[in-house]
Amino acid sequence: MDFSFSREEELFREAVRGFLSKRLSPIWESIDESGLIPVELIRDMGSQGFFAIPVPEEYGGQGGTFTLAVIAAEEVGYHDPSMATAVYTLLNNAWPYILYLYGSENVKLEILPLVGSGRAFFGIASTEPQGGSDVAGLRASATRGDGYYSLWGEKIYISGVREALEQLDTGGWLLLARTGRLEDRHRGLTAFAFIARRNGRLVEGLEYSMLKTIGRHGISTGVLTLKGARTPLDTVVGGEGRGFYVAMEGFNVARIMVAAANLGVARWALEEAVKWSRERVLFERPIASFQAVSFPLAELAVELEAARLLVYKSAWMADRIYARREPGLKPGDLAFYAAASKMKAVEVAFKILETAMKTLGALSYTKESKVNRGLLGVLSYLVGAEGAQNVMRYIVARELIGKDYVK
């Protein structure tokens, strides 16, 4: 059993850290304050190989592994604790890979090279106003015409709306819509590579708006209203009626990267708390000398290490399934690890940020401390993004006890 990284992985992490320390660390607060990731930063990150990492080079990706994608997500989270660029990074690694696996050749060759180079956005659009966790109950519909599908309905809490539809020339989402009856539940869903903006032109029949979020301001969250927006037949991903299964596979790989980004924020916050505990003097002693300060930090350091081991084991499992294609393993085997990773890493990150704020005291309630920006970013995943935490518990319980018992 070897817990070390390969030489390639160590060099990759070193290169990622070097780039981010120069290009992202100095501006992450201004990104959160202005509510905008600069387009030039997105393109520079693309040129440095941050996006479409697991996608083969012949499709414009980096030809890397999920372990490398997780390293990138963790480091971006560390260098932008507000989570905005981390969210952008993890979305544009997970969902382009699913498009590579199940998309048509034409769509893959059109979109994936643009995503990999930082010139296009490709995320996920599944959540609807009536609920997000019940994916099988989605109501947006797709009706088939002559060479196209018409999309109807509404998607909400969608990441990257401004980036896809205003900042970059090309952008879209893996969008779930119902091609069967509502009572068909998951069997009636189809996934589409819905390119909402192509070469600077918005597709007809699409309206959108932005939501005002309390954190991770740099990446937008919005609403998509579909009023007959057309998408070509070859944009179906994985076959008609297979959208639920395609999306579940995508959420598995996305959740591991979500967990990794939370590891990065947590590591940053723990360092901030430790540094303050050494510098802050009360009663003529640094507050680190008080067990009420040092013991919680010690406990959380252990929790963070445990979460990190789980997340990287999950990335290793994903590589066994997808990169090495080991016999006897299938994509569904990742469900336990993906859900467990998100469940553990997000909750540990939130605990660390909460404790960091308590350690900093009143200072943490001001923008000068920075820690509150991280807490609000991580909170988005604690309350539900990429699957509610109780849904993660349900998945873990189902995989542990059995589908016949946990329904």
How big is the chain by its Cα radius of gyration, in Å? 21
Going by the DSSP 8-state scheme, the letter that residue 131 receives in this structure is B
First to last CA, the chain: 36
Name the percent of the chain lying above pLDDT 90. 93
- For 176-211, the pLDDT digits (tens) are 999 998 888 889 999 999 999 999 999 999 999 999
Per-residue tokens: 297: 């930090």
Indicate the SS3 state at residue 363. helix
Residue 121 token pair: 């956005």
228-267 per-position pLDDT tens digit: 999 999 999 999 999 999 999 999 999 999 999 999 999 9
What mean pLDDT do residues 343-357 have? Answer: 98
Comparing C-alpha atoms, which of 136, 225, 215 is closest to residue 181? 136
CB 53 within 8 Å of CB 237: no
| Cα(127)–Cα(140) distance, integer angstroms | 10
Region for 63 from its dihedrals, namely left if φ exceeds 0, alpha if ψ lies in -120 to 50, beta otherwise: left
| pLDDT, mean over the chain | 96
Which stretch of DSSP H or E encloses residue 327? none
CB 257 within 8 A of CB 83: no
What does residue 48 show for φ and ψ, rounded to 5 degrees? -90, 0
Q: Are 119 and 252 contacting, i.e. CB atoms less than 8 angstroms apart? A: no
pLDDT digits (tens, 9 = 90+) for 259-318: 999 999 999 999 999 999 999 999 999 999 999 999 999 999 999 999 999 999 999 999
> Which residue, among 171, 338, 332, 177, has the nearest Cα to 252 in the 3D structure?
338
> Do the beta carbons of residue 143 and residue 227 sit within 8 Å?
no
Global pTM reads 0.96
What are the two backbone dihedrals, phi and then psi, of residue 384, each rounded to the nearest 5 degrees? Answer: 155, -20
Which pLDDT does position 120 carry in this prediction? 98
Residue in the structure block whose two tokens are 């890979």: 97
Domains of the chain, start order: 7-120 (1.10.540.10), 122-237 (2.40.110.10), 243-401 (1.20.140.10)
Give the model's pLDDT for residue 325. Answer: 96
CA distances in angstroms from 74 to 31, 125, 328, 342, listed in the order given: 18, 23, 29, 13
pLDDT tens digits, one per residue of 80-137: 999 999 999 999 999 999 999 999 999 999 999 999 999 999 999 999 998 777 888 8
pLDDT over 90 (residue 390) = yes
211: left (phi over 0), alpha (psi -120 to 50) or beta: beta
